[in-house]
Structure 1
Amino acid sequence: MPHATTPDGVKLYYEETGSGTPILFVHEYSGDWRSWEPQMRFFARRHRCITYSFRGYPGSDVPEAGSMYGQRHAVDDATHMLDYLGIPKAHVIGLSQGAFATAHFGRLNADRALSLTLAGVGSGAGREGHEQFKRDARATAQRIRDKGMASYAEGLKSNPTRSRFKQKDPRGFEEFVKQLGEHPDIGAANTMENYQGKRPSLYDFEEEWKKLDVPTLIICGDEDEPCLQPSLYLKHVLPNAGLAMFAKTGHTVNIEEPDAFNREVWNFIALVEAGKWTPAEPLDKDAPLI
């Protein structure tokens, strides 16, 4: 089993396939390296594709200390995956928790990103409710310690941002829940407490976002209510960002609507590599309104 060992000694499980310009996939809280299988199969036709598990997730080491987890660890681990594989620059694609890591990867390592895809980004990161979100995350971490991940996964079946996935693809949704229930309790609780429960708001970095001109695609399901406003916000502040909204779609957009997701990202990467994904022209105040 292939592993990349981080500078602080954590082994991260990864898999890769295909050849060409590299793509690094960064998973959500409720996913792991397996979450990107529809994308690994599709994009490997023209790209070198890498998927990996965060620390604390299946296949990777599960540190017991909470101090070994957090948003900065996730950003650094994504960077280390590229370093370990000898990749100077890559297209980086993240979902949810992985989209937070991807955004901050771009903010801190813009020279390593060919492009950024931020899917299902921003839950709990708005100007209102951010502190409550962090308190809720820490309480959820304790419930995971008390009852385990199988119970957490079962509870996700009634989450409104996942309900459309369950309706569209019952078989795929059951696989998703089963895999989630396999996550190590310690790693899941530590991630929930120290990443979700401590991460800063996206809105805290507005001046830095305004300077990040890396080509960026934001994808949001229109039924992923917690991510709607943050997605619009990032579209507004990032100078070279585009926004794709998927109708009747929830949070787990890459496996709920894999064909639509793959087509959207495929087109985005093609435009980036052709040099045609560029910032919008400045508004001409004297131009006709219509």
Structure 2
Amino acid sequence: MPYAQAEGARLWYEEAGSGHPILFIHEFGADHREWEDQVRFFSREYRCITYAARGYPPSEVPESPKLYGQDFAVADAAAVLRHLGIPRAHVVGLSMGGFAALLFGIRHPEMAVSLVPAGAGSGSPRADLAEFRSQCAARGDRLIAEGWPGAMAEETGHAPTRIQLKKKDPRGWAAYMARLAEHSGLGTGLTMKHYQGERDSILDWEAELRRMEVPTLLAVGDEDWPCIETNIFLKKVLPNAGLWMCPRTGHAINLEEPAAFNAELARFFSTVERGRWRLG
């Protein structure tokens, strides 16, 4: 079975296609399956790799809180690439995965051909940080105690930045909700408490971001209110970044607008690969 060994956990991965590699890193409220529309599109010309984060079956679910956090998230992405013998890849992440993609670019720029942090930045503004961390701790405790089926899934699926998917694509939303109910309460609860709730504010990385020259496409929906301020900050400080804002779109930008998302990424990858997305 396809597992990559990382520190403290084996990570389930899937791949499709051949060519230049793309690594997809999923968000908190999803798993590796959220990238299906992207894999079907890009695997015609690219080698696409998705994986389930630690705590998300069929990856292993460590029981120790010490085995969760932003450092593990970045190391896990590198572990998957190294396991597959891939020295460099385009790295695409959504939300929690977008946070990991940005930190990957800081810590492993030599492994990133480009970065696409999509829907990244919730909880980062200074005014929001304390409340965000408190909410993550409380929600993590609820997930460990209750799991996903029932109230937790319904609250997530009907949240102000996710209801857009239900309005646009009821069938896609139903599939999303079915996947959500399958998640591990323990794994996602520990992820919420010790990764989401204890991670840095992206604003804390300003000095490192100003030095990061990896080609970067920032992607955010214009109704993804918790992330817009941070993406504007990122556009200001990243020297080699572009910002794409998708209209009338919430948090799960790749699920809500897969055609637009894929088209923007395809143009970005092509420009990078031709050496035309550059400083100066």
Shift of 1:148: 1.3
2-side partners of 1:204 and 1:231: how far apart?
14
Contact 1:149 1:188 (C-alpha < 8 Å) held by counterparts: no
2-side partners of 1:157 and 1:87: how far apart?
35
What's the secondary structure of 1:123's corresponding residue? Answer: coil
Structure 1 residue identity aligned to 2:247: A
Alignment of 1:186-201 (within 5 A): 186-201=186-201
Question: Which residue of structure 1 aligns with residue 248 of structure 2?
Answer: 248
2-side partners of 1:189 and 1:204: how far apart?
25
Structure 1 residue identity aligned to 2:3: H
**Residue 78 (str. 1) matches residue 77 (str. 2):** yes
Question: Which residue of structure 2 aligns with residue 93 of structure 1?
Answer: 92
Shift of 1:61: 0.3
2-side partners of 1:33 and 1:94: how far apart?
11
**How many pairs are equivalent?**
279
Shift of 1:60: 0.2
Structure 2 residue identity aligned to 1:71: Q
Query: If you compute each CA radius of gyration, which structure gives the higher value, 1 or 2?
Result: 1
Shift of 1:58: 2.1
Contact 2:144 2:190 (C-alpha < 8 Å) held by counterparts: no
TM-score (norm 2): 0.98
Alignment of 1:107-256 (within 5 A): 107-150=106-149, 151-256=151-256
Show structure 2 runs of 5+ residues with no match.
none
Shift of 1:132: 1.4
2-side partners of 1:126 and 1:80: how far apart?
30
Please give the root-mean-square deviation of Cα atoms over the aligned residues, in Å: 0.9
Structure 2 residue identity aligned to 1:228: I
Question: Which residue of structure 2 aligns with residue 258 of structure 1?
Answer: 258
What's the secondary structure of 2:4's corresponding residue? Answer: strand
Structure 2 residue identity aligned to 1:278: R
Shift of 1:168: 0.2
1-side partners of 2:72 and 2:179: how far apart?
23
2-side partners of 1:210 and 1:95: how far apart?
22
Shift of 1:153: 1.1
Question: Which stretches of structure 1, 4 residues or longer, exceed 2 Å deviation after superposition?
Answer: none
Shift of 1:129: 1.2
2-side partners of 1:99 and 1:58: how far apart?
20
Structure 1 residue identity aligned to 2:16: T
2-side partners of 1:202 and 1:120: how far apart?
13
Question: Which residue of structure 2 aligns with residue 286 of structure 1?
Answer: none
Structure 1 residue identity aligned to 2:125: G
Question: Identity rate of aligned residues, in percent?
Answer: 49
Question: Which residue of structure 1 aligns with residue 267 of structure 2?
Answer: 267
Structure 2 residue identity aligned to 1:163: I
What's the secondary structure of 1:239's corresponding residue? Answer: coil
Show structure 1 runs of 5+ residues with no match.
282-290
Contact 1:99 1:121 (C-alpha < 8 Å) held by counterparts: yes
Contact 1:153 1:178 (C-alpha < 8 Å) held by counterparts: no
- Deviation per residue, 1:54-78 (Å, 9 max, x gap): 0000210001111111111000000
2-side partners of 1:152 and 1:69: how far apart?
21
Contact 2:8 2:67 (C-alpha < 8 Å) held by counterparts: no
What's the secondary structure of 2:74's corresponding residue? Answer: helix
1-side partners of 2:138 and 2:153: how far apart?
16
1-side partners of 2:29 and 2:124: how far apart?
18
What's the secondary structure of 2:93's corresponding residue? Answer: strand
Shift of 1:119: 0.3
Shift of 1:10: 1.1
